Structure 1
Amino acid sequence: MMSNSIQLSERDQLSKSQMNVLRKQGQVPAVVYGTDVGSISVTVSEKDILSTLKRNPRAILHAAIPQNGNKPVLIQNVQRDPLSNKIVHVDFYQLNMNISMDSKVTIHFSGEPVGVKEGGILQVELYEVQVRCMPDKLLSAFEVDISGLGIGDHLLVSDLSFHEGIEVLSDATAMLVKISHAHAEEPVVVPA
């Protein structure tokens, strides 16, 4: 589903210093690529992209692409400055709504496991799984209730039950979460 729209502006090839000026003006250099549009250099408002990433980083966006009209796109990659964590570049992938796509779905764990209440330790191994589906079936997140897990229990990728039309590509034997026994710490003996 197209959850929101985003405005992209045409961008010429710019030098590094010109790109930095753009960023200071609140615009992020970006590129849109896909079968219908090829590869187009654009800019996007930093405010708009931050808002989208906060709401749903895997949302299908209705993008106004210069000289190509409105097209469905997905945020494919976000590059950030390692020191400031500010966004420096965004890659958008233009979707064909009639062809299945591969993507990642975030797993949200809900509920407090019985095993944790009994003194066990919750260990999350995977926070997302790779799936294949039609773009309109793509989930931003999948909620999994783990309140029934006891000490020694675990949940595998194969235990997930997505709705029809979503094929899980991640290894079925990969562990998502487990409840481990809490190990009592041995007393430290300090020599006298």
Structure 2
Amino acid sequence: MSNSIQLNERVNLTKSQINVLRKQGQIPAIVYGKDVGSISVIVNEKEILAAVKNNQRAILIAAIPAQGNKPVLIQNIQRDPISNKIVHVDFYQLNMNESLDSKVTIHFSGEPAGVKAGGILQVEMYEVEVRCMPDNLLSAFEVDISGLGIGDQLHVSDLAFHEGIEVLSDSGAVLIRVSQTHAEEIVA
């Protein structure tokens, strides 16, 4: 648990009042969970950007009004489609003694031998669903794909997560494949 974040109470604000807060660098958010129910809050934009800079799935210690400090996970970040600025954040309050379901991003490293030989790399999935204790949650999982040749595939079942992480995604699902290029025939 590396970061802490301050959340301030938000009570019955109009849309125009929320827009004014956004211009002042305050983002509307919600915290929900078994212990806290559902609480409307405001978070400082700089704090949330700093918290997600290195790990969007980091467990944060949130100072929640009238609740004290609680571990939370960023469940969703909504962004404006044009400016890409954060417009809303959903925090999920964690129970550190219960497992949780989350997604882990897969980072592919290396250049496959099949691509060097003229094949085409096709990424089918960028993340997998996992179940684990909050302390075991990974932000990303690195996979070396340099050994893949033309016609090779990497399946979810090929991932070797450490003990304590159960993969929920379909084990037969293809993460990445190297396909052969099809030369087009030239008709004279």
Q: TM-score range by the shorter chain?
A: over 0.9
Which residue number corresponds to residue 156 of structure 1?
Answer: 155
Q: Which residue of 2 aligns with 1:5?
A: 4
Please say if 1:48 is aligned against 2:38.
Answer: no
Task: Give the deviation of 1:180 after TM superposition.
Answer: 0.5
- Identity, % of aligned positions: 78
Query: Post-superposition shift, 1:68?
Result: 1.1
Structure 2 partner of 1:122: 121
| CA distance in structure 2 between the partners assigned to 1:25 and 1:182 by the alignment | 52
Return the TM-score normalized by structure 1. Answer: 0.94
Structure 2 unmatched runs, 5+: none
Which residue does 1:22 correspond to in 2? Answer: 21
AA partner of residue 61 (structure 1): L
| 2:136 alignment counterpart | 137
CA distance in 2, matches of 1:67, 1:188: 75
Equivalent residue for 1:84? Answer: 83
Alignment partner of 2:53: what SS? helix
Q: Give the RMSD, CA atoms, in angstroms.
A: 1.2
Structure 2 letter corresponding to 1:65: I
3-state SS, counterpart of residue 38 of structure 2: strand
Deviation at 1:62, TM superposition (A): 1.0
* Alignment size in residue pairs: 188
Post-superposition offset of 1:35: 1.3
In structure 2, what is the Cα distance between the partners aligned to 1:90 and 1:6? 13
Q: Distance in 2 between matches of 1:22 and 1:185?
A: 57
Secondary structure class of the residue paired with 1:55: coil
Gaps of 5+ in 1: none
Give a deviation string over 1:57-107, Cα, whole Å, max 9, x none.
Answer: 111111111111111000011112223222111110000000000000000
Q: Give the letter for the 2:115 counterpart.
A: V
Alignment CA distance shift 1:31-1:183 (3 Å) = same
TM-score computed with the length of structure 2 as normaliser: 0.96
